[in-house]
Amino acid sequence: MMSVLQIRRSEKDILQSRAAEIQREIQLGERKIFSEVLDLSSGDLHAGGIKPITFVRQVLAACSYPALLEDQSLPSDVRRRAEDLLKECEGGSVGSYSESSGMVKIRECVCEFISRRDGGVSSSPDNIFISTGSQTALMKLLTVLIRPEDSCRTGVLVPEPGYATFRLALQAQRAAIIPYQLCEDQGWTLHIQELRRALQGATHTCTPAAIYICNPGNPTGHIQSRTSIEEVIRFAAEEKLFILADEVYQDCVFADDAEFVSYKKVLSEMESPISSTVELASFHSASKGFMGECGLRGGYVELVNVDPAVQKYIQTLFSTRSCPPVPGQIALQLMADPPKPGDPSFPAFTKEVQSIRHVVCRNVRQIQEVCRELPGVRCQPLKAGFFVYPRLQIPPKAIKWAKEHQMKADMLYCMRLLEEEGLHVRPGCEYGQAEDTYHIRLFVGTQADTMEAALQRLKTFHTRFLEDFS
């Protein structure tokens, strides 16, 4: 069997299984000090108790069951939007296949969204490939980039800390992972010297071909400055690297002093030949932001400066999987073209979006406050994204205990937190971190009372944990 996936179970799996087990035990009446497991482990708004956007769901319902187009209780803009979308579907049904890269009208809409976002930089539907979540598009790009040789593997620069599922994808494709460290003390910024160091160390063991960036960052919550993005682009140009820019958190910017700028925009404003030659794939999805429609699997990749001959092959590769799920395509269209002022649904829509933003910002403030209170916890300011990623000062006795039990100290922390307080968060060891540093990742997108309860449990636990291992 081909797989180079580690046989060892991941921390995520272990915690997830145990959390589910505990939840079942509670349901069966086993006495626990808590009545339910609180889940701050996954970047999933709806699982966190945030309600879906009404407009989105009304349109989805009307598309699924067109009899609702006659239903006067649905706002007229909902019905009109559903009607327009159904016109684009073969046979007027969302059950038909679409083009393999997604319905052309939806891709055009996504282009307009991108153009508006980037202050007018043009975008073509031929360069947009809608996919079953952005992760699938990312995997397809990897399939194209990564040569299957074992003798000199294709290398991809990957941030630490970085999104764990992506690392798994790289392993499954037999790529060589070239980690580069983000600088925690400066707010998880990316330093070119570090990229150079990482690349230098790798050139003899693999053929570096791409650099993966997550901006805004997961788990770090940092957002790259325009200067930083330019530096990375120049670096990619010099070192001949394909840029994979994972920008799924672009609509989750919280800090007042932070602004998301896309790789594409920065690239377009740089001088020739860089602007017309550096190859870039930008990923976005309807899973994050205020829509949080993870389960609908609506994502896309925009290809910039990619060789047209290669792009044709990418098109064929997409075609072998038929097409992306139509509900996901609809979610993307609605994200790209939400209700506007004057539309009947606009007031309710705006209110819902603002309320979500408000809850999340409040959660972020509360988490950061608690981090400041608790001894041995240090948190970089959260600028964007869905997670807070505090660093923990873990007592030496705990580190020793963890080592004796073949686990990292932050995994020990998370396991005990789950067992003793029913709070599920992720340990930093899953994302890659500097030696002897420990972190936990907390999701910020839950209902207000869930967050309050979670933070209460965290405080209680943390104090006890420090005492137990003093």
Tell me how far apart the alpha carbons of residues 448 and 421 are, in angstroms, rounded to a whole number. Answer: 18
- Residue in 25, 36, 84, 96 binding another protein, rule: CB under 8 A: 96
Nearer to another protein, 71 or 468 (CB): 71
Binding status of residue 293 toward another protein by CB under 8 A? yes
Site for another protein in 139-168 (CB under 8 A): 139, 143-148, 150, 165, 168
Residues in the chain: 470
Strand partners, 304: 280
On whether the CB atoms of residues 56 and 353 are closer than 8 A, the answer is no
Query: Which residues lie closer than 8 Å to 27 by C-beta, 6 or more apart?
Result: none
User: Closest distance between another protein and the C-beta of residue 376, in Å?
Assistant: 32
Binding status of residue 62 toward another protein by CB under 8 A? yes
Binding status of residue 175 toward another protein by CB under 8 A? no
User: Closest distance between another protein and the C-beta of residue 366, in Å?
Assistant: 20
Strand partners, 285: 299
- Residue in 186, 226, 310, 372 binding another protein, rule: CB under 8 A: 310
Nearer to another protein, 140 or 222 (CB): 140
Binding status of residue 209 toward another protein by CB under 8 A? yes
In order of 167, 309, 376, 402, 426, the CA distances from 10 in angstroms are 12, 39, 26, 16, 11
Tell me how far apart the alpha carbons of residues 10 and 23 are, in angstroms, rounded to a whole number. Answer: 20
Site for another protein in 258-277 (CB under 8 A): 272-273, 276-277
Binding status of residue 301 toward another protein by CB under 8 A? no
User: Closest distance between another protein and the C-beta of residue 327, in Å?
Assistant: 4
Binding status of residue 98 toward another protein by CB under 8 A? yes
Instruction: Map tokens 């995994």 to a residue.
Output: 411
**At how many degrees (to 10) do helices 226-239 and 192-202 cross?**
20
- Residue in 291, 356, 394, 412 binding another protein, rule: CB under 8 A: 291
Query: Which residues lie closer than 8 Å to 360 by C-beta, 6 or more apart?
Result: 252, 254, 444, 445
Site for another protein in 224-243 (CB under 8 A): 240-242
- Residue in 29, 91, 120, 341 binding another protein, rule: CB under 8 A: 91
Tell me how far apart the alpha carbons of residues 270 and 268 are, in angstroms, rounded to a whole number. Answer: 6
Instruction: Map tokens 């599920």 to a residue.
Output: 424
Site for another protein in 33-52 (CB under 8 A): 42, 44-52
Site for another protein in 109-138 (CB under 8 A): 132-133, 135-136
